[in-house]
């Protein structure tokens, strides 16, 4: 037996390599992570991350909320709280969800440490090794990391510009069932998809809910971007028409600020109690401080007007990105999102987005290769471009640099 703490074959740097649980294998740094460290240098235009542009927030109003909370209820804000979340705050969350057609009871809302943590809790409750999660292909990378860390497999259903294709979903379910697989839930980002930038049409929302109902598959509706539309509102949330078969996830990360780390799950009543218990086991209680500050902000600031400001900022940036693409890369195709943060670019077949990234970084532009968003190696001909953080001028510059890289690659 090798002594504890002795480096072993497989990983010379980590003496505990053979002690990890099997599920830890899924927690690997992505191959492009090291490059992103380089890409964070100021001279690089990063179209890679998904950081909200929090500088557009009314900082004074956030400061007011913070001061009011400390003055009026400092000891409560600094104390542990309910494992389900502050009751008044959960009522306010109902008002946010009402904007997307959801009518619910505050008793079914569970406040979490960002919606990322809600994804973790739902996975913990439902996934056993070998289970299957169906998702769009591509899908949100860090949700898939969680699913895989619970040793579930991700099955990708293809999408088009209307979102997930219902016929393909039916086929996938039939195939998985015929193979004796257990499908635990359908994970979907219906509005302003990350990374594809497309929105599931209303007709398809109904159809997909019907398919899920027929097959007794729980739907996990992840909706961080729904309120960040540009011209036309997204269709109402799937949860607005299906209460018992949908766990809905929301967050203040994109409409307010991710630094609060506050999101929520709206769960079918039967599931809600388990979620609260899982939340308590994980964090005891979500941050009282963050919840109370957001609650005060919602009560005192024009938060709907502020979301409108964000919409304007992101609309301008999306337009800058699409016009730069049309000017510098007219031979390629891309999605035209009506909200959210992302454009999905299709490359010619001879190019490989992952292999091209180091050369792009050398040309001082970074993006996320499509392969990051598939569990099965697809995505080499795709790139996710984020327009949320850089200024319109930087977006133009970034796309111009990207065009140079693409041209050079095509001529190789
Ligand atoms: N779901 C999706 C689709 C996301 O894009 C993100 C953030 N990038 C999250 C969940 C997690 O967000 P948060 O934990 O900040 O609420």
**DSSP structure string for 124-171:** HHH--TT-EEEEEES--HHHHHHHHHTTPEEEEEEEETTEE-HHHHHH
pLDDT in the model for residue 213 = 98
How far apart (Å, rounded) are the C-alpha atoms in residues 284 and 276?
A: 10
Residue whose CA is closest, atom 5 of ligand 1? Answer: 194
CA proximity to 344, closest of 371, 364, 362, 363: 371
Model confidence at 323: pLDDT above 80:
yes
Q: Which atom of ligand 1 is nearest to the CA of 140?
A: 3
How far apart (Å, rounded) are the C-alpha atoms in residues 281 and 275?
A: 10
CA proximity to 46, closest of 371, 409, 383: 383
Mean pLDDT, residues 109-120 taken together: 98
Tell me 198's DSSP state.
-
* Residue bearing tokens 């460290």: 37
271 Cα: distance to centroid of ligand 1 (angstroms): 21
Model confidence at 49: pLDDT above 90:
no
411 Cα: distance to centroid of ligand 1 (angstroms): 38
Determine phi and psi for 218, rounding to 5 degrees: -70, 140
* Most ligand 1 atoms within 8 A of CB, residue of 251, 262, 389 to mutate: 251
- Residue 327 — pLDDT band, cuts 50, 70, 90? very high
Residue 401's SS3 state is helix
pLDDT in the model for residue 33 = 75
* Most ligand 1 atoms within 8 A of CB, residue of 113, 147, 194, 248 to mutate: 194
305 Cα: distance to centroid of ligand 1 (angstroms): 22
153, 213, 219, 239, 291 from 242: Cα distances, Å: 26, 9, 10, 5, 27
115 Cα: distance to centroid of ligand 1 (angstroms): 6
Q: Which residues contact 166 (CB under 8 A, 6 or more apart)?
A: 204, 207, 208, 211
Q: Residue 82, preceding bond cis, omega within 30 degrees? A: no
Mean pLDDT, residues 388-402 taken together: 97
* Most ligand 1 atoms within 8 A of CB, residue of 53, 113, 193, 224 to mutate: 224
374 Cα: distance to centroid of ligand 1 (angstroms): 17
159 Cα: distance to centroid of ligand 1 (angstroms): 20
How far apart (Å, rounded) are the C-alpha atoms in residues 344 and 367?
A: 11
How far apart (Å, rounded) are the C-alpha atoms in residues 97 and 113?
A: 18
39 forms beta bridges with none
The strand ranges marked E within 10-117 are 45-46, 109-112
CA proximity to 403, closest of 318, 330, 317, 323: 330
Q: Specify the length of the chain in residues.
A: 412
- Residue 31 — pLDDT band, cuts 50, 70, 90? low
221, 222, 272, 300, 370 from 250: Cα distances, Å: 9, 7, 15, 21, 25
Q: Which atom of ligand 1 is nearest to the CA of 341?
A: 5
How far apart (Å, rounded) are the C-alpha atoms in residues 2 and 220?
A: 44
Q: Which atom of ligand 1 is nearest to the CA of 118?
A: 14
* Most ligand 1 atoms within 8 A of CB, residue of 48, 52, 120, 142 to mutate: 142
Tell me 181's DSSP state.
P
166 Cα: distance to centroid of ligand 1 (angstroms): 24
Model confidence at 78: pLDDT above 70:
yes
Q: Which atom of ligand 1 is nearest to the CA of 189?
A: 3
Q: Which atom of ligand 1 is nearest to the CA of 263?
A: 16
Nearest 5°: CA angle at 91, between 89 and 94? 115
Neighbours of 100 (CB within 10 A): 20
pLDDT in the model for residue 10 = 53
327 Cα: distance to centroid of ligand 1 (angstroms): 31
Tokens of residue 376, six digits: 């099965």
What was the ipTM of the complex prediction? 0.99
Contact 148, 375 (CB under 8 A): yes
Residue whose CA is closest, atom 9 of ligand 1? Answer: 116
pLDDT in the model for residue 12 = 67
pLDDT in the model for residue 375 = 94
How far apart (Å, rounded) are the C-alpha atoms in residues 95 and 271?
A: 22
Instruction: Show the ligand 1 pocket: residues with CB < 6 angstroms.
Output: 50, 114-116, 140, 189, 194, 222, 224, 251, 253, 258, 263
HSE, side-chain direction, 13 A CA sphere, residue 186: 26
Could you tell me what percent of the chain has a pLDDT over 70?
A: 96
Residue whose CA is closest, atom 8 of ligand 1? Answer: 50
pLDDT in the model for residue 36 = 76
How far apart (Å, rounded) are the C-alpha atoms in residues 20 and 32?
A: 23
pLDDT in tens, 138-193: 999 999 999 999 999 999 999 999 999 999 999 999 999 999 999 999 999 999 99
254 Cα: distance to centroid of ligand 1 (angstroms): 8
Which run of H or E residues covers position 178? Answer: helix 166-178
**What is the rounded average pLDDT for all residues in the chain?**
95
pLDDT in tens, 198-207: 999 999 999 9
* Most ligand 1 atoms within 8 A of CB, residue of 52, 113, 114 to mutate: 114
How far apart (Å, rounded) are the C-alpha atoms in residues 184 and 186?
A: 7
146 Cα: distance to centroid of ligand 1 (angstroms): 12
- Residue 38 — pLDDT band, cuts 50, 70, 90? confident
The 132-137 sheet, strands edge to edge: 109-112, 263-266, 246-251, 218-222, 183-188, 132-137, 153-160, 163-164
pTM: 0.95
């Amino acid at each position: 037996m090798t002594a504890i703490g002795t480096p072993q074959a497989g990983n010379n740097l980590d003496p505990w390599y053979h002690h990890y649980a099997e599920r830890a294998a899924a927690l690997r740094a992505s191959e492009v992570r090291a490059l992103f460290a380089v890409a964070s240098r100021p001279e690089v235009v990063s179209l890679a991350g998904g950081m909200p542009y929090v500088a557009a927030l009314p900082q004074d109003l956030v400061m007011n909320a913070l001061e009011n909370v400390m003055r009026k209820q400092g000891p409560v804000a600094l104390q542990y709280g309910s494992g389900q979340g502050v009751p008044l705050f959960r009522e306010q969350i109902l008002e946010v969800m009402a904007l997307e057609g959801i009518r619910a009871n505050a008793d079914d809302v569970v406040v979490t440490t960002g919606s990322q943590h809600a994804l973790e809790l739902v996975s913990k409750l439902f996934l056993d090794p070998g289970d299957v999660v169906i998702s769009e292909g591509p899908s949100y990378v860090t949700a898939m990391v969680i699913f895989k860390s619970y040793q579930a497999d991700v099955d990708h259903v293809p999408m088009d510009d209307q979102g997930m294709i219902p016929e393909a979903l039916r086929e996938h379910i039939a195939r998985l069932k015929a193979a004796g697989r257990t499908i635990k839930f359908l994970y979907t980002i219906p509005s302003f998809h990350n990374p594809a930038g497309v929105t599931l049409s209303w007709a398809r929302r109904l159809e997909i809910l019907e398919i899920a109902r027929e097959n007794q598959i729980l739907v996990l509706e992840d909706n961080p971007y729904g309120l960040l539309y540009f011209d036309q509102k997204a269709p109402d949330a799937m949860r607005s028409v299906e209460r018992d078969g949908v766990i809905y996830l929301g967050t203040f990360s994109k409409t307010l600020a991710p630094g609060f780390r506050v999101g929520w799950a709206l769960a079918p009543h039967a599931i809600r109690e388990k979620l609260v218990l899982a939340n308590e086991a994980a964090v005891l209680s979500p941050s009282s401080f963050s919840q109370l500050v957001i609650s005060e902000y919602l009560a005192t600031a024009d938060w709907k007007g502020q979301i409108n400001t964000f919409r304007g900022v992101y609309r301008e940036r999306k337009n800058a990105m699409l016009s730069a693409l049309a000017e510098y890369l007219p031979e390629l195709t891309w999605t035209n999102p009506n909200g959210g943060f992302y454009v999905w670019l299709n490359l010619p077949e001879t190019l490989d987005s992952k292999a091209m990234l180091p050369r792009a970084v050398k040309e001082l532009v970074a993006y996320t290769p499509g392969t990051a968003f598939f569990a099965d190696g697809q995505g080499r001909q795709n790139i996710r471009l984020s327009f949320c953080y850089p200024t319109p001028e930087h977006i133009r510059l970034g796309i111009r640099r990207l065009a140079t890289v693409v041209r050079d690659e095509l001529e190789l």
